Structure 1
Amino acid sequence: MSEPLRASSQRVQEFLNGKGYDFTVRELASSTRTAQEAADSVGCSIAQIAKSIIFRNKADNTPVLVVASGANRVNTRKIEQAAGIKLGKADADFVRAEIGYAIGGVPPIAHIQKVTTFLDPDLQQHEVIWAAAGTPNSLFELKPADLALLTEGQWIDIAE
């Protein structure tokens, strides 16, 4: 019998179930805090890790989520030009207060409020990808098309 999920991961699992998906949140013994650790933990390439990075919209102080391939660095200028917004850094307190999760386990879904979301098109090169599920050692597997549906995110070029 498996251990029950921690509360943060359980929120992600309930969100997925509520949307009619049968994806399974997996809590692992190893860390998934970084894209490389996540890839090593599930045996995939780093490019298959969908890392969630929270920024702050400078105009209205709302969160902006960027879901990037683990192999890519995010170019905020590209996002700003494509979306017509100015991005600022989001510290740990902002992320927890506005998203509901701690940095290192931020999922692309199940936030405490609706979040403007931008998706890295490089994720579409893969049959399956892995995303954080609420803790620094939990993930779930999904397809890039499902990521777009679940997040209502916009695919834009975000990589450096």
Structure 2
Amino acid sequence: MAIDKVREYFKTYQMDDHILEFNVSSATVELAAEALHCEGKRIAKTMSFLIDNQPILIVTAGDTKIDNAKYKHFFGAKAKMIPGNEVERIIGHAIGGVCPFAVNDNVKVYLDESLQRFETVFPAAGSPNSAIELTIPELEKYSNFLQWIDVCKGWQ
């Protein structure tokens, strides 16, 4: 199970005890916010895309949407999400638990600027009923991200 991969990943940083597991689903921004008793915008949602068969993850604030024009300008391609039935095979985590930790080797991770307005955010931790609270510097460190990007709308 992917949460076990994430737990092992965080164990190398002595952070595995920071993973939160719920008795309820946290598979969507709304459900995660309810489980965590926080605002939905603090949920760090991780979306999976393909660019010329290269899988990428973009971690954004929970109150955003991808801005197609910004995405195309940055990546030089139209936003194409990975089909739901292929996400787990390509990324290493199933929908509802996709996170930027312990992903498959060829997956590139980007962080959207919409996250920078928070001290801490809550990305998933590999299952549809888990999360971990991280500061922005911790998210940068543990996600092994390539760079900050600006590809979202609806939050400014």
Same fold by TM-score, threshold 0.5 exceeded? yes
Matched, 1:152 2:132: no
Query: Matched residues in 1 for 2:94 and 2:123: separation?
Result: 15
Deviation, 1:29, is: 0.8
Matched, 1:96 2:100: no
Contact 1:98 1:113 in 2 (8 A): no
Matched, 1:9 2:8: no
Deviation, 1:93, is: 2.8
Task: Give aligned-pair identity as a percent.
Answer: 32
Which one of 47, 58, 61 corresponds to residue 53 of structure 1?
A: 47
Query: Which residue matches 1:4?
Result: none
Q: Within 5 Å, which residues of 2 pair with 1:70-109?
A: 70-109=62-101
1:3-50 residue CA offsets vs partner (Å, 9 max, x unmatched): xxxx321211111122x2525211101111111110111111111100
Q: Match for 2:49: what amino acid?
A: F
Which one of 44, 59, 68 corresponds to residue 60 of structure 2?
A: 68
User: TM-score by structure 1 length?
Assistant: 0.86
What is the root-mean-square deviation in Å for CA atoms of aligned residues? 1.6
Unmatched tracts of structure 2, length 5 or more: none
Query: Matched residues in 1 for 2:28 and 2:72: separation?
Result: 25
Contact 1:79 1:156 in 2 (8 A): no
Q: Within 5 Å, which residues of 2 pair with 1:122-133?
A: 122-133=114-125
1:110-152 residue CA offsets vs partner (Å, 9 max, x unmatched): 1122322221212111111101111111111111121122223
1:89-112 residue CA offsets vs partner (Å, 9 max, x unmatched): 211232111111111111121112
Unmatched tracts of structure 1, length 5 or more: 1-6
Aligned-partner SS, 1:41: helix
Query: Which residue matches 2:21?
Result: 27
How many corresponding residue pairs?
151
Contact 1:68 1:158 in 2 (8 A): no
Contact 1:33 1:104 in 2 (8 A): yes
Aligned-partner SS, 1:88: coil
Query: Matched residues in 2 for 1:54 and 1:129: separation?
Result: 19
Query: Matched residues in 1 for 2:50 and 2:151: separation?
Result: 16
Contact 1:129 1:143 in 2 (8 A): yes
